[in-house]
Amino acid sequence: MADRAGRGAALGRWVAYALALPLAILTIAPFLYMVAAALVSEPDSLRHPVPEAFAAALVALPVGRFLLNSLIFSLAVVAGQLVTSATAAYAFARLRFPGRDRLFLAYLCTLMAPGVLLVIPRFLLIDALGWVDSYQGLISTELVSVTGIFLLRQFFRALPRDLEDAARLEGAGEWTIFWRVIVPSSRPALATLAVLAFAEQWRSFLWPLVATRSIAMRPVEVGIANLGGMYHVSWSYQMASAVTAVIPLMVLYFVAQKYFIRGIEQAALK
């Protein structure tokens, strides 16, 4: 009986592999095409890859400036969202004050509004402050994430209160409990939020397109989109830039995958 169950489990794994392999190939095929197109000197043919074409594309375009803008923008937003989401989530999950649940419901209701409706009010705000085409204009309106607050609130609510109660008995205040107890226990959730926020801002297009005007302030997504008009739709140049833009996200995932997967698993279980 045990041998039959073992054979059935092995057969199930092979069937799963057989079904997953074509899907994996189908998923990765566009990326492989992107890399191949970045390595050719003639956009119309993939028969003669020329590695020098990739380097020439990166030299001809201000890709380095685009990447620097995206890096500053994404890291600043990640830092801001971690601070605002963690503190707000702690208040909604642990503190008791009048109207707490109604206020949290009001926060959730903002998720129903399409993001495109908020572009004009946000632009008018940074325009009034004189922050158009600047880092502070790009960053300031992205520092609060309702999704991040919701994610961390749910995680904080699932944490046991034993250490928190013990810290209160020792005379610890709310800030000490938050910094010394809650934050160390929530590293997987914080890492998950950081990875998701970085990826979202790195791939952001609409808001940077509206908030910036000069080429020097364009992040990578907007910069790549503008290359068609600048270089008469040179696909090798655009693909080389796109490959370069994907690399930081891949590095980030491989570095933080342990915390990211653990955070997703704990959020699913809780």
Domains of the chain: 2-55 (no CATH), 56-269 (1.10.3720.10)
- Which pLDDT value is given to residue 230? 55
Digit-coded pLDDT (tens) for 142-153: 999 999 999 999
Q: Are 198 and 46 in contact (CB under 8 A)?
A: no
- pLDDT value at 10 more than 50: yes
- Which pLDDT value is given to residue 239? 77
In b/e form, how buried is each residue of 26-45, taking b as 16+ CB within 10 angstroms? Answer: eeeeeeeebbebbbbeeeee
Confidence of residue 45 (pLDDT cuts 50, 70, 90): very low
- Which pLDDT value is given to residue 46? 46
Digit-coded pLDDT (tens) for 87-112: 999 999 988 889 999 999 998 888 88
Element (H, E) at 107: helix 100-109
Element (H, E) at 43: none
- Residues linked to residue 49 through DSSP beta bridges, in sequence order: 40
- Residues linked to residue 40 through DSSP beta bridges, in sequence order: 49
Burial class (CB in 10 A: 0-12, 13-18, 19+), 152: buried
Q: How far is CA 116 from CA 48, 119, 196, 260, in A?
A: 43, 5, 20, 29
Range name among 5-19, 91-105, 122-136 with the lowest pLDDT average: 5-19
- pLDDT value at 238 more than 80: no
Give the distance, in angstroms, between the CA of residue 259 and the centroid of all CA atoms in the same chain: 14
- pLDDT value at 1 more than 70: no
